Structure 1
Amino acid sequence: MTTNNHGAPGLAGGIADAEPLPGNHLSASPVDHTGLMEEPQVPVSRGYILWLMLASFGASIAMMVPLSYGIAVRITELAPGQEQMLGFITGTAQGIYLIVSPLIGIWSDRTRSRFGRRAPFIFLGTGIGLAGLVVMGLAPNLLLVGAGWVLGMAGWSISGAAIQNLMADKLPEGQRGRVSALTGLMTQIAPVLGIGVAYAVSSNTFLVFVVPGVIGAILLALFPLIKPEGSSQNIPVDNRVTFRSVVGSYGFSVRKYPDFAWNWLGRFVFFMGLYFNTTFGTFFYAQRLDLPVREVAGVVATIGMLGVVAAAAGALLGGFLSDKLKRRRLFVLFAAFLFVGGAVAEAFAWSLPQLIIGAVLMQTAIAVFATVDQAIIFAILPNRTETARYMAVVAFAQKIPSAIAPLVASVIITIGITGGDKNYTFLYLAGAALALIGGLVISLKVKSVR
């Protein structure tokens, strides 16, 4: 469900990684004396794209394995039958990160170091995230599991946001769709492979958390070491941070930036629907297939591997075709309708083949939407001198739903229930409706992007 600046010569010193691809003779984006930066023009190299993909994979595997499997296992161990605690744990962690993310964005934009503006936050987030997973794996009660996830979610989100900021900083318009597709593909593959890794070590709960975290940490740490961002010490800082500017960083002018506002709203609603239909995935599969929660990892991994093929096709189709056709909104609408089809199939599924069909459709839809909407965001950022700050605001449209949706879903699944089964049918249909509304808002109201 959720959520990159390498173009200007003088910005981060990464000129070796901004080499033109064959047949492209565009010049680099200039930086003026006030620090205002134009859109990047020079394509990044294939090697740089590869490391963007690997780092995205690392952040995703470390974040999603605990979220989609590990926390559910810990709840089953420490508080059997208390499925609703999953919503409270994940929602609380998302809410806390939501509050601090714009401050981290301001800090990143204003960081002046020989390592650049974004690389320090890749390292910082990785360290915090890994520490959080260790706490979760060793926690003797759900309170400490929740505290560990506050650290884990915040850490991996900081690292992931730094990668996004680098992409927004460096990718020219002609590469945004395809690179978003490739990095998005990695975020689709990582949880599936990560669940397989977790299943292989499922006899040891501590390893379920730590092994995916170590894999993610290695890939994230290698990225800025092999592809250094370069110094940011010479980038001018032309405004002071005041209490008023900090408060203002949590929002933006809807009247001044209507496309940014409509895209934010549509993204918010779409992700509400997405998190309705993904938060309780482990428990949902356990109920529909009548399996113990601990044994669901194998089923999730199997379904996920099939979904990866569809997600790969969706991400690449959406990214490359939207670049080629220079049309983004059409693909967002297509993704919304596809998500509805998958959600409805899941809502009424009581067998493995039905669950596979629904999951494949939903995975494809998520991949298309995430890829194309990210390209739209890069095109409509209000101010490129504050990329990280505005990307943090964009992240609100994903993080707020990830905090609210699990809490709301915890209530929805109890509506009209008889016996021990939760009402996942109603939950998945509600998610489908929200996703469709979100897609319609973006496709009909964002005007400056085709």
Structure 2
Amino acid sequence: MSSETTEATGVPEALAEPVVRVRPGWMSLLFFANIALWLGIYAPIQVLLPKQAQLLDQVDKEFVLGLVMGVGAIVALVVNPAIGLLSDRTCSRFGRRHPWTVAGALVATVGMAVLAFAPSVAVMIVGWCLVQGGLNGMLATLMAAMPDRVPVGQRAQVGGLVGIAQMLGTVVGAAVVITASDLAGLPLAYSVCGVIILVGAAFFVLRTPDARLPVEFRPRWVRREVLGNLWVSPRRFPDFAWAWSCHFMINLGNGFGTLYLLYFLQDAVHYKNPDDGLLIMMGLYGVALVVGAVLAGHFSDKSGRRKPYVLAASGVMALAALLLVVWQTWTVALVASPLLGVGFGAYMAVALAMLTQVLPAAQNRAKDLGIINIASSLPQVVAPLLTPLVLAYLGGYPGLFAASAVATLVAAVLVLRVKAVR
């Protein structure tokens, strides 16, 4: 029997349900790898891509930004489950996940270099596609670490850390790239992002275990398997489908509410320094997100319940959006930011735990999580495509925030249909 197979069950370690609680050191490394990942995604989305779009086309900056983000998100939709599927079947002596984490970080860094010196919208699209492809491959493998290593009773706690890492990546990334771009322009800012991504990935890969999948346990590759395995039947796995739909709607609402914040501060609030305003809002959002994630993760794991926390989080996020429907002022933005943060933090902590509990099969964890990650990536296609239409024809920013509130409330309805999780 393979040394990678547990003697008691005959199931390889890579496929066994984890029962030993992960230690703080492992959680810290996953935490910092996720900070690097989300910094690489959101620092460009929040700051660098809007600035670059404005430099390349002042008149049609919204269209350019939506085009670049939309095409990049399409790449993310394909890469995330595909890399997950490949990692599920990888029998490398270095493990199943780590080789793909390293590859993703390298591709993303190349993409940052392309963006740093992009002379046109077309080259900008190529660079962002490389970044999205690399980071979504990395996301597929880092997300798989939860069901691979973390027992069910600890997943909301770890999910809370991942949610906090996403926030810190966003906030720290905004601060870092604004400072770097002020000092030496966009090339330095993109370069700093690339270095942080590589360092975060390297520390996680070099200092954490990655169970090897014995060759005899690798699922067979058969004709049409790639396309067939990128589909999970809603009829056979309804809980997976409802949880996926809930996650999609939450992220769509979040996309409507956050992707155009820099332009919102500039064009609707008329804040004198939109960059500084964005940092203040993200700082408030971040502190509140930490509070929401820690509290919801602790009490959810303690009670074993997930859905009540998702419902409460959805309500708080919708309230934050509705405040901005009524009042587009700096004061109200300061109130809405922490509300959105505490709601999204609570949601991320509990949702990641819930989503890992509805995965169909252990041998396809990364692939199935890749499909779930589409629920995060697809709104990056939908929201940029719909946002200019909403702004032009449905009442401007009040209409945009109303759409955010509606999407979030729909998510609350959908989570009620998940039966296997309390």
Query: Which of 251, 260, 272 pairs up with 2:231?
Result: 251
- Report SS of the residue matched to 2:258: coil
| Kept in 2: contact 1:87–1:279 (CA 8 A) | no
2:4 aligned partner: 10
| Kept in 2: contact 1:102–1:392 (CA 8 A) | yes
| Kept in 2: contact 1:34–1:236 (CA 8 A) | no
| Kept in 1: contact 2:89–2:219 (CA 8 A) | no
- Report SS of the residue matched to 1:116: coil
| Kept in 1: contact 2:91–2:218 (CA 8 A) | no
Query: Which of 188, 200, 208 pairs up with 2:167?
Result: 188
| Kept in 2: contact 1:29–1:39 (CA 8 A) | no
Query: Which of 40, 43, 68 pairs up with 1:62?
Result: 40
1:282 aligned partner: 262
Alpha-carbon shift at residue 414 of structure 1 (Å): 0.9
- 187-196 or 204-213: bigger deviation: 204-213
Alpha-carbon separation, structure 2, partners of 1:448 and 1:112: 32
| Kept in 2: contact 1:29–1:37 (CA 8 A) | no
Deviations 1:251-277 (CA, angstroms, capped at 9, x unpaired): 112222111111112222222222111
Q: Does 1:221 find its partner at 2:202? A: yes
Deviations 1:6-61 (CA, angstroms, capped at 9, x unpaired): xxx937xxxxxxxxxxxxxxxx8966358993421111111101111111111111
| Kept in 2: contact 1:29–1:42 (CA 8 A) | no
Unaligned runs of 5+ in 1: 1-8, 12-27, 418-422
2:220 aligned partner: 240
Distance 1:173 1:72, change over 3 A: same
1:365 aligned partner: 343
Distance 1:189 1:29, change over 3 A: farther
Aligned-partner residue type, residue 178 of structure 2: Y
1:151 aligned partner: 130
| Kept in 2: contact 1:136–1:148 (CA 8 A) | yes
Alpha-carbon separation, structure 2, partners of 1:120 and 1:36: 15
Alpha-carbon separation, structure 1, partners of 2:323 and 2:59: 26
2:187 aligned partner: 206
Query: Which of 397, 407, 410 pairs up with 1:434?
Result: 407
- 179-188 or 265-274: bigger deviation: 265-274
| Kept in 1: contact 2:80–2:140 (CA 8 A) | no
Aligned-partner residue type, residue 192 of structure 2: V
Q: Any residues of structure 2 matched to 1:308-323 within 5 Å, and which?
A: 308-323=286-301
| Kept in 1: contact 2:40–2:197 (CA 8 A) | yes
Alpha-carbon shift at residue 353 of structure 1 (Å): 1.8
Aligned-partner residue type, residue 125 of structure 1: G
Aligned-partner residue type, residue 447 of structure 1: K
The structure with the largest helix share of the pair is 2
Question: Structure 1 residue runs of 4+, over 4 Å off?
Answer: 28-31, 33-36
Distance 1:237 1:197, change over 3 A: same
2:66 aligned partner: 87
| Kept in 1: contact 2:17–2:147 (CA 8 A) | no
Unaligned runs of 5+ in 2: none
Alpha-carbon separation, structure 2, partners of 1:309 and 1:144: 36
- Report SS of the residue matched to 2:15: coil
Deviations 1:386-435 (CA, angstroms, capped at 9, x unpaired): 11111111112222222112101121111156xxxxx1110110110111
- Report SS of the residue matched to 1:200: helix
Two-structure CA RMSD over aligned residues (Å): 2.0
| Kept in 2: contact 1:30–1:38 (CA 8 A) | no
Aligned-partner residue type, residue 37 of structure 2: A
Alpha-carbon separation, structure 2, partners of 1:174 and 1:235: 30
Alpha-carbon separation, structure 1, partners of 2:13 and 2:21: 21
| Kept in 2: contact 1:196–1:297 (CA 8 A) | no
Give the alignment's TM-score, normalised by structure 1.
0.88
Deviations 1:263-314 (CA, angstroms, capped at 9, x unpaired): 112222222222111221211111133257xx42221111111221110001
Alpha-carbon separation, structure 1, partners of 2:186 and 2:171: 18
Alpha-carbon separation, structure 1, partners of 2:83 and 2:198: 20
1:18 aligned partner: none
| Kept in 2: contact 1:57–1:189 (CA 8 A) | yes
Distance 1:245 1:296, change over 3 A: same
Aligned-partner residue type, residue 278 of structure 1: T
2:382 aligned partner: 404
Q: Does 1:135 find its partner at 2:107? A: no
1:273 aligned partner: 253
Alpha-carbon shift at residue 365 of structure 1 (Å): 1.3
- 271-280 or 138-147: bigger deviation: 271-280
Identity %: 28
Aligned-partner residue type, residue 166 of structure 2: T
Alpha-carbon separation, structure 2, partners of 1:213 and 1:100: 19
Aligned-partner residue type, residue 338 of structure 1: V
Alpha-carbon shift at residue 234 of structure 1 (Å): 2.6
1:383 aligned partner: 361
| Kept in 2: contact 1:266–1:438 (CA 8 A) | yes
- Report SS of the residue matched to 2:20: coil
Alpha-carbon separation, structure 2, partners of 1:368 and 1:284: 25
Alpha-carbon shift at residue 100 of structure 1 (Å): 3.3
Distance 1:342 1:182, change over 3 A: same
Alpha-carbon separation, structure 2, partners of 1:101 and 1:389: 8
Aligned-partner residue type, residue 448 of structure 1: A
Q: Does 1:73 find its partner at 2:67? A: no
Number of equivalenced pairs: 417
